[in-house]
Amino acid sequence: MSTRDLFTFSNRHFTIGVGITAAILVVTAIAGFVVLPFAQPWVRFANVWDAICSAAGVAQRAANVTTPDQPKRLSEVVLTSRTLSRPSQEAIGRGATLAQRCAICHGPTGISRADSPNLAGQYAAVIYKELHDFRSGARANAVMSPFAVNLTDEEIADLSNYYAYLPRLPAYHPTPQLPKPNIVIYGAPMRGIAPCGSCHGSLDNKTGSPWLEGQSEAYMKAQLQAFASSERRNDISQQMRNIARAMTSQEIEAAAAYYASQPPDIVKAVD
Amino acid sequence: MSAEQAHGSSVEVAARVERRWATIAVIIIVAMALLAAFAGIHRATMPQPRVEITDPSRIHLSGEFVESNLGSVLEANGNVTVRAIGQQYSFTPACIVVPVDTPITLRATSADVVHGILIQGTNVNTMLVPGYISEQLMRFARTGDYLMPCQEFCSFGHEGMWGKVKVVDKTDFANRAKAGGRLSCVGQ
Amino acid sequence: MLVNRKLILAHFWLAFAVFGIALTLGAWQMFIRSPIGTWLSNPELYYRSLTAHGTVMGYVFPTLVAMGFGYAISESALEQRLIGVRWAWTGFWLIVIGSVMAVIPIALGRASVLYTFYPPLIGNLFYYLGVVLVVVGSWIWVALMSINLRVWRKAHPGAAVPLAMFANVAGSYLWAWTAVGAALELLLQIIPVAAGLKNTIDAGLARVFFSWTLHAIVYFWLMPTYIAYYTIVPRAIGGRVYSDTMARISFILFLVVAMPIGMHHTFADPQVGAGFKFIHSAFTALVALPTLLTVFTICASVEIAARLRGGRGLFGWIGALPWDNPMMLALAFSFIMLGFGGAGGLINMSYQLDASIHNTQWITGHFHLIFGGAIVIMYFAIAYDLWPHLTGRELIDIRLIRTQLWLWFIGMIVTTFPWHWVGILGMPRRMAYFDFGDPAIAPQALSVTFSAIGGFVLLASGIMFIVILARGMRAPQIDAGAYRFALAVHQPTTVPVALNTHALWVALMIALTITNYGYPILNLATTAGTSVPAVYVGAQ
């Protein structure tokens, strides 16, 4: 037999090889697409075609379900890694003008003299998200809410880009640097707490999570407590409430004190 | 007997022994495949029957994975449905409560990257791939607390992503369910 | 006839150098997450190390071994100078450049996405480009193996292709085709996102593409080991291959069924239909067939050697085997580990049993036992066997070689058995540390400690291996003679065309890929709304 006859049925190996393979394929396909789907009494298919399509993996939109009413307003912001990723100089300029209103609390350089958050060099997505949430009522604050309520989408984006653009400066009242507490370094794995830095910048940044270095201790402590008690609930799908609830009050204090004592320039540079 | 013949017959013997062994190997394999199919049907552990898709960056806005719908609910037929999401780096609800000896459907998805749900000491084990909804049937034979770690690398906080499952007795669960809404054991 | 010894030595040395580095990282990982290590203040360092360990051990090390061994087989089995030496060096340097390119972003913490990539996590572009270069470099080898065989065939019309070369080329084709899955994932999906051209990616589709590569790559790693089983071991212990035909059938079966079974890695995934999961499960069961056939043929071949040495009785012949021969020792260890690892593999193969161990430490234990154990110990044996022929110098430290093999075997058992066990207890994979102080997982602490100790035994053995080879470069010169492969009891003079060429089986492999992967890939690729936002790791 020559190579030319390789792919003909006169070649025993071809016949056997292809035959057995095809037979296995047909048998397993019938079993996988027809027999097994109907052998599961707990699943209902409209007809054979539905069973075959489902087994083949034809994607379906999930059926609509009635969901319980949500009594309190939650965040409606959609955050992705491309949220506000490439600001223009004009946007930053417009943001600078708008930011004059914010300077009373957040400082003219974006560094607060009170216990408001320092915004200079904060991730743009963070400011963007919080302003949206203040505007929608998902987050409430007697001072902030009235400011946010009249902002347009573009103004929110401009402000976020402006503050993200500002250099990170030391806190207004720097305190001596504290050593890292365990809750910050390691988290508490079995309580479902990852190291703070895995979202808050020093290891990695989860879009929408702020870096915390040099922020007001009182502010951070209050926010952690508010998350823990679910008084604050604008974290999407409870991502921060899950963590804060699992923290002890000592851990909350230690984490707030530690971050407040850190200079902001140790946050890794922006990419 | 010439050397030629001896050679020929030894080839034959060798081939015969070989064929026997190949047959045994094939039988082993077929038996295993049948066993797997049988166990799948008998013990109700089959892959999820359908592929369903969803947009992970919008699950909090509408659909079945909005915050108010996450948790366990007692269905009219006595079964329980649990809806949960995985995100960097927690599950919501972080503590899932379910009744013992009850058919439970777990429906879950991811809000960002690939995660996995594994309930230790059980066969409950599924991937959460963003964009797709995972569904798994489960049934717990004994009450107690179970650990539910994320079993897939989901970036630098992966080691801190551990949830919990609390299996309570049926009446306890039914009492909790009376208040309506979605149940969880968060904060308990 | 080994002419291009420098080329082969370069491949082996690079392979074993990167192996040494990755092994050290592996031992450190075992230690640092065990109860005897202290928790890392930066868990990212663990994932960085894990990415480097996986990338090197998965893509670079076995590929270089297969390539170096492949060139050696081509020259010595075909008795023909390697054609395309310049191309071979090009392939080698592509791998060097690719490895460096991939390792730099890993070392900087910009690509801690693990060697399995895991989109929508996206790391630094150069990591992926480096991996692509490694694969491209290896594809040059695939082409050269094919060309060399073709030239030989022209010169020897109708002659039986030597078994070693037949298997070697089968392995190279398997690799060429199986790498296509990851290549598609990288080129069509990940690299455009890493380069900033796109910012969404279909994570489900990416996992399907990767599964295409993920299983058959294991059989590519396995090929040099199986070639050694069939064509080196019987010669080294003074026996003969029981059956040349059965050997060919085994390699053909690997070629055909190793490929279209990868979806058993996605059993727990929501984006693959249950029907395809079942088909892949059934084909996965089939892949046990060539291994079972191999076990039989090799045991029979070893028995022949024993009986030729005067072994008697039903089992008495086992004592007559040359147990002081490193090749015999390596084979025995390899078979034991293959047996345990294969049994574990049967568990992973079934959807139902897989559910209890999917993505637990069981899986890591499993593939370390199979790859690190059964396969790599034969890589050692191959190197020991080839070394005198490559260097023209004798490996004198036979006792040290035996100790090294023993340590590797013991280390692997001590590492992987407790590893399997904690997997059954539900310990998840790829975590930088565990709180063994918590009563819920405290019972796992002892097993994990044993694993970590085993890791150091492996490290010691790995260092010994490299020292033995290095000393072999300076040993007294000898004439090692021509490098030969084992002969069959009934050495074939002619072989049926189908068992002497690969075309039919490559065609079947591609056809099965289309039937088993075609629809799932097309379906996901054409379904709108399945792409999700990329998540860039290490981005601030």
- Report the CATH number that the domain containing residue C76 is assigned in CATH: 1.20.210.10
What digits encode the pLDDT tens for the residues C128-187?
999 999 999 999 999 999 999 999 999 999 899 999 999 999 999 999 999 999 999 999
Per the structure block, which two tokens stand in for B149? 């770690």
Asked if pLDDT for residue A76 goes beyond 50, the answer is yes
**Percent residues over pLDDT 70 in chain A:** 96
Residue B6 — pLDDT band, cuts 50, 70, 90?
low
Q: What is the mean pLDDT of chain A?
A: 89
Asked if pLDDT for residue C125 goes beyond 90, the answer is yes
Chains touching B, CB cut-off 8 Å, 3+ pairs: A, C
Number of inter-chain CB pairs under 8 A, B vs C: 202
Per the structure block, which two tokens stand in for C442? 């405290």
- In A97-156, the residues whose Cβ lies within 8 Å of chain B are none
Residue C318 forms part of a structural domain: yes
Asked if pLDDT for residue C513 goes beyond 90, the answer is yes
Cβ distance B89 to A194 less than 8 Å, yes or no, reads yes
Asked if pLDDT for residue A268 goes beyond 70, the answer is no
Asked if pLDDT for residue B18 goes beyond 90, the answer is no
Q: Is B149 on the interface with C (CB under 8 A)?
A: yes
Q: Are A72 and B66 in contact (CB under 8 A)?
A: no
| Residue C429 known to be catalytic | yes
Angstrom distance (rounded) from CA B89 to CA C43 = 14
Q: What is the signed CA dihedral for A98, A103, A109, A110, rounded to 10 degrees? A: -90
The complex scores an ipTM of 0.91
Residue C535 forms part of a structural domain: no
The pLDDT assigned to B10 comes to 76
Q: Which residue of A has its CA nearest to C499?
A: A13
**Which runs of consecutive H residues, i.e. helices, occur in chain A?**
12-30, 36-38, 48-56, 89-98, 103-106, 124-136, 144-149, 153-165, 182-185, 197-200, 217-228, 241-246, 249-260
The pLDDT assigned to C287 comes to 87
- For C305, half-sphere exposure in the C-beta direction (CA atoms, 13 angstrom radius) is 27
Per the structure block, which two tokens stand in for A122? 């904060």
Angstrom distance (rounded) from CA B140 to CA A260 = 46
| Residue C471 known to be catalytic | no
The pLDDT assigned to A271 comes to 34
Residue B115 — pLDDT band, cuts 50, 70, 90?
very high
Residue C481 forms part of a structural domain: yes
The domain of C212 spans 5-428+451-527
Angstrom distance (rounded) from CA C43 to CA A51 = 45
Q: What is the mean pLDDT of chain C?
A: 93
Q: Which residue of B has its CA nearest to A209?
A: B88
| Residue C215 known to be catalytic | yes
pTM: 0.94
Asked if pLDDT for residue B2 goes beyond 60, the answer is no
The pLDDT assigned to C526 comes to 93
The pLDDT assigned to B9 comes to 75
Residue C307 forms part of a structural domain: yes
Q: Is B33 on the interface with C (CB under 8 A)?
A: yes
Asked if pLDDT for residue A1 goes beyond 80, the answer is no
**Residue with token string 């075992």:** C30
Give Rg (Cα) of chain C: 23
Q: Out of B46, B64, B91, whose CB is closest to A62? A: B64
Asked if pLDDT for residue B47 goes beyond 70, the answer is yes
Over residues C7-16, the mean pLDDT reads 97
Residue C273 forms part of a structural domain: yes
Phi and psi of A47, rounded to 5°? -160, -175
Per the structure block, which two tokens stand in for A46? 């409209």
Residue C60 forms part of a structural domain: yes
What digits encode the pLDDT tens for the residues A124-158?
999 999 999 999 999 999 999 999 999 999 999 99
Give the type of residue at A127. Answer: I
> Into how many domains does chain C fold?
1
DSSP state of B155: S
